[in-house]
């Protein structure tokens, strides 16, 4: 399962479409870190709305992804974590500490606009 | 409504297959959605430990009944290296692989019952249960 | 004991009115995680002023609540922990690490305004 | 001014009832407010352990006198599984349930006296005391 990565203005949007294997997640992480440079992106949104499980491996990989893109000059925000998934994560002890989150794509875009202090039009 | 499935765990794709199998059974049995998610997450952690520490193994997922309660039991077993110190492995943050060390204690928190047996050089069997609410 | 949850602008305010059982606390946690999505809230205030005991279960549940709402894009702040309750918590070893706290409702609102960088009017 | 109450502990609501009973007695006896809070918090932890580990049990709350000191003693007892290794259970962070593991050592810190007896498969009795200042 390749995750499509769209470029929207200064942002890259990765919309996960189906359950991802560990290898898929690592690919996503590396692809985003690379594309941030290629497209000179300032922000990254990873939409996990369809993920029905976020285990320790997925949490860790998303955290690493966020840290990697930041080192490359782009902020990452994870959007769409469902309430039940959030519950399971917290019970496991996974809090995505140090990683920004937002409710959904729209809030994620608003968040990046504020964080990257770009109030110019996107797209 | 007895039901049982065995998922061989050999590659990272099997982790997804196993947890989907677990969710499927939970849904069929009428588990509340939150509990299906907890079960699927627990299976994911146990399956990954098999791959990571034992290379391969299997996960059995079955419906269980006890009195008027029904539930799902999951048995994750491997013939891997085993765990020398189980009470250490059960502590939050303990990991021999530089991992987060949240898998085993976390799975215990997610489930109603948790049981682990492990023999060094023989393997590990983790049995968990979630009752239907 | 159902805890009333009020919507005030971008925030949800849960004002605990009486001693809560463990089950009540779990309900509050789940209700807030869900309502954050429904109302697109950016912040959550849990007012524990009336609680005369905050034991390990309550602390843990409030911590989980804060982490869950954060994974859903809303910051939570716990307000109103009384001095004696704080003393007992510290003796037990409960520090609400990683959870934001403020003196009272007013300070909690000010904290959220700053944290969510919204200086516009609420309500 | 001898006073004694027994609160059966069966559900999570009884935890609240027990700690309120403790606070009530402390207030009547003229305990400083901080100490009433410490006592109520300790009772809450012990009552929850009964529910969590032994399913049910009871909590006795009584005034005590020793010389010219007065105080409150609380006995939390159950016929549950007992504790195999008490010194381990008394350590901060040790938990067999994925809990915070602060209950028993924390209660000890809150109280003036703390005593625990436990037999595997027979049950657990924790006795605590707080003297009036
Ligand atoms: N199936 C297994 N076989 C051998 N060792 C295991 C197995 N599962 C867990 N362990 C051991 O227990 C430790 C803790 O596991 P866990 O809590 O899942 O955290 P993590 O996998 O992040 O290290 C592991 O680091 C490993 O040493
Ligand atoms: N009443 C009890 N019956 C049996 N075991 C108990 C009881 N109370 C405590 N324990 C054991 O002692 C351990 C430590 O208890 P505690 O310090 O209260 O932390 P926690 O409840 O968070 O695990 C528990 O995990 C449990 O194994």
Tens digits of residue pLDDT in D46-66: 999 999 999 999 999 999 999
Question: Above pLDDT 90, what percent of chain D?
Answer: 91
Specify the length of chain C in residues: 123
Interchain contact, B41 vs A93, CB within 8 Å: no
C102 pLDDT above the threshold of 60: yes
Q: From B53, B58, B77, B108, give the residue whose CB has the most ligand 1 atoms within 8 Å, as the site to mutate.
A: B53
Q: Looking at residues C10-24, what average pLDDT do you find?
A: 96
Question: Above pLDDT 90, what percent of chain C?
Answer: 89
In D, residues 95-124, which contact C (CB 8 Å cutoff)? 99-100, 102-103, 105-107, 109-110
Collapsed DSSP state (helix, strand, coil) of residue D119: strand
Predicted pLDDT at D38:
97
A118 confidence band (pLDDT: 50, 70, 90):
low
Predicted pLDDT at D54:
97
Cβ of residue D98 closer than 8 Å to a chain B Cβ = yes
Burial degree of B20 (CB within 10 A; 0-12, 13-18, 19+): middle
Measured over the CA atoms of residue C81, residue C86, residue C89 and residue C93, the dihedral's sign is positive
Helices (H), chain D: 12-28, 33-49, 86-89, 103-110
- Please tell me the distance between residue D83's alpha carbon and the centre of ligand 2 in angstroms: 8
For residues B27 and B132, give the distance between their C-alpha atoms in angstroms, rounded to a whole number. Answer: 11
Predicted pLDDT at D27:
96
Predicted pLDDT at D100:
87
Q: From D41, D45, D50, D53, give the residue whose CB has the most ligand 2 atoms within 8 Å, as the site to mutate.
A: D53
Q: Are A115 and A83 in contact (CB under 8 A)?
A: no
- Please tell me the distance between residue D100's alpha carbon and the centre of ligand 2 in angstroms: 10
Interchain contact, B34 vs A85, CB within 8 Å: no
| Ligand approaching nearest to the C-alpha of D122 | 2
Cβ of residue A91 closer than 8 Å to a chain C Cβ = yes
Cβ of residue D14 closer than 8 Å to a chain C Cβ = no
In C, residues 47-106, which contact D (CB 8 Å cutoff)? 52-57, 59-60, 84-85, 87-89, 91-94
C80 confidence band (pLDDT: 50, 70, 90):
very high
**Which token pair is C26?**
């779990």
| Ligand approaching nearest to the C-alpha of A59 | 1
For residues A43 and D33, give the distance between their C-alpha atoms in angstroms, rounded to a whole number. Answer: 53
- Please tell me the distance between residue B5's alpha carbon and the centre of ligand 1 in angstroms: 24
Q: Are B108 and B130 in contact (CB under 8 A)?
A: no
For residues D91 and C99, give the distance between their C-alpha atoms in angstroms, rounded to a whole number. Answer: 24
Backbone angles phi, psi at A65, to 5 degrees: -55, -50
C118 pLDDT above the threshold of 60: no
Q: In the block, which residue shows the tokens 């039009």?
A: A121
Within 10 A of D8 (CB to CB), how many other CB atoms are there? 13
B85 pLDDT above the threshold of 70: yes
The atom of ligand 2 lying closest to the CA of D105 is: 17
Interchain contact, B15 vs A21, CB within 8 Å: yes
What one-character DSSP code corresponds to residue C94?
-
Residue of A nearest to B33 (CA): A84
Residue of D nearest to C83 (CA): D34
**Which token pair is C33?**
């995680």
Say what the pTM is: 0.90
- Please tell me the distance between residue D83's alpha carbon and the centre of ligand 1 in angstroms: 25
| Ligand approaching nearest to the C-alpha of B57 | 1
Q: In the block, which residue shows the tokens 């010389």?
A: D67
Contacts of B18 (CB under 8 A, 6+ apart): B7, B9, B43, B44, B47, B59, B61
Partners of residue B37 in chain A, C-beta under 8 Å: 52-53, 84-85, 87-88
> Over the stretch A60-116, which tens digit does the pLDDT of each residue have?
999 999 999 999 999 999 999 999 999 999 999 999 989 999 999 999 999 999 988
Predicted pLDDT at B92:
87
* Protein residue with its CA nearest to atom 23 in ligand 2: D95
D2 confidence band (pLDDT: 50, 70, 90):
low
């Amino acid at each position: 399962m390749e995750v499509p990565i769209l470029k929207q203005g200064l942002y890259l949007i990765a919309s996960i479409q189906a359950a991802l294997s560990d290898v898929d997640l690592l690919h996503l992480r590396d692809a985003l870190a690379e594309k941030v440079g290629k497209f000179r992106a300032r922000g990254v949104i990873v939409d996990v709305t369809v993920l029905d499980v976020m285990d320790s491996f997925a949490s860790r990989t998303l955290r690493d992804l966020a840290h990697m893109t930041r080192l490359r000059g782009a902020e990452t925000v994870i959007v769409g974590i469902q309430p039940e998934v959030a519950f399971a994560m917290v019970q496991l002890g996974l809090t995505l500490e140090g990683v920004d989150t937002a409710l959904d794509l729209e809030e994620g875009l608003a968040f990046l606009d504020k964080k990257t202090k770009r109030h110019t039009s996107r797209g | 409504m007895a039901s049982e499935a065995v998922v061989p765990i050999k590659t990272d794709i099997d982790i997804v297959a196993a947890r989907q199998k677990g969710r499927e059974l939970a849904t069929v049995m009428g588990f509340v959605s939150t509990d299906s998610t907890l079960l699927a997450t627990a299976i994911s952690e146990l399956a990954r430990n098999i791959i990571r520490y034992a290379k391969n193994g299997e996960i059995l997922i079955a419906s269980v009944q006890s009195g008027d309660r029904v539930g799902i039991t999951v048995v994750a077993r491997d013939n891997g290296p085993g765990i020398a110190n189980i009470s250490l492995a059960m502590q939050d943050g303990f990991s021999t692989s530089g991992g987060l060390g949240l898998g085993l204690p976390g799975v215990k928190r997610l489930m109603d019952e948790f049981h682990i047996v492990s023999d060094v050089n023989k393997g590990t069997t983790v049995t968990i249960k979630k009752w239907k609410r």
